[in-house]
Amino acid sequence: MAAYGLYTHIQANRFRSIVLLVQLFLLVYVIVYAGALIIEVVHNGRGTVDYYLTVALQDVIRTLPYSTGAAALWIVIAYFFHQSIIDAVTGGEDVTRQQEPKLYNLLENLCISRGIPMPKLKIVETDALNAYATGLNRRQYAVTVTRGLLNALNDDEIEAVLGHELTHIRNDDVQMMVIAVIIAGVVGFFAELLFRGFANFGGFGWGYGGGSSWSSSSSSSSSSDNGGGRKGSGGAAIIIVIIAVVLIALAWLLSQLVRLALSRSREYLADAGSVELTKNPDAMISALRKIEGRGELPGATSAVMELCVDNPREGFSDLFATHPSVGQRIQALVKFAGGHDPGPLALLPPPTGPWNRPQTPLDGPAQPPSPPAGPWGPHGNGGEPPQPGPSEGPWSDPPGPRGSR
């Protein structure tokens, strides 16, 4: 599908994503076929390769309703509980307008400007700089940001990050990624189940049942088949086991690659969508520079990190990286959106850095901050001159009329 503009790129991305999801679901049946091969070998170690391949295919067709039903049940469970699982892993908590008024207003204004239903707003209390969107329908959509992100970024940069996540929701990227993670989880679950079950049952086929094995079945068949069954039993069983193991490993690997393909292809469009919403490419660029390499969420699984603005977990030679590099994304914004790259940005280290300064209400009066203070830090002393003293500094100004927390 050819794409010539932003919206045709979005449609092309959706089409490719649907095709990839169909292919991903088909991997479930590859796993089922590999399991059928193993079961046939365990129950009958005297067949030929053609016999095993044919009978296993018949088993897959016969059990198709059951395997499809099991996969569908997994998807239904994940549909209703995936948000609770993600929140349990990351520690995300719902916040209201009263708790975080400025952040809430930034998100609401973006939604109103494009007629997008207001998603839930969540915050993770961590120093990491990251954000992600989740949900499968309008009632489930949620945008989650970290406390470290709020402390380190200014209003324009936070608005750009929120626009990035809203674009994922607008483009149905969140739905695609959550479904992909669910289906890939089905593939991984059945693959591990087969490996564990077969290993426990027969040591990967080399023996089971109190000492009986394919070699013993081969020897017993050879005595009755005059040597003709020896070649077609034990040898065929070993070949089928190798085929089954290769199919399981290949299905698992392909399921991971499909997830990566979905994740990598959507980030450029989300960056572009953020610029379309905010009309501020420089804010998106500087936000990416500040987030770069600082987004690791403690305890988060790889599936959760794939949903984030930036995933610092890099793969081998960038082959298994779930996101394009920050440099590549910024180059695209500079080239196509006219932004300016300030280069890598250094954040202040603790204890004077923005991650450790006292928290203040997000709706306080806008005061010109003293470097290196940011707009999300203390609000100063309400415009009064700071009191001199040995501890005078940007973080030690006495509280003003509104105070600080």
Instruction: Please identify every residue annotated as catalytic.
Output: 165
| Cα angle 247-252-256, degrees, rounded to a multiple of 5 | 145
Beta strand pairing call for 93-94 and 131-134: unpaired
CB-CB neighbours of 55 under 10 Å: 17
Residue with tokens 């209201």: 96
Q: Are 120 and 142 in contact (CB under 8 A)?
A: yes
Residue with tokens 């394009």: 324
Cβ neighbourhood burial of 399 (10 Å; 0-12, 13-18, 19+): middle
Cα end-to-end distance, the chain, whole Å? 54
CA 318 → CA 160, 177, 293, distances in Å?
A: 26, 20, 15
From 53, 54, 62, 35, select the one nearest 201 (Cα to Cα): 35
Helices vs. strands in the chain: H and E counts, helices first: 12, 4
Q: Which amino acid is at 358?
A: P
**In whole angstroms, how large is the CA radius of gyration of the chain?**
28
Cα–Cα distance measured from residue 73 to residue 190, given in angstroms and rounded to the nearest whole number: 14
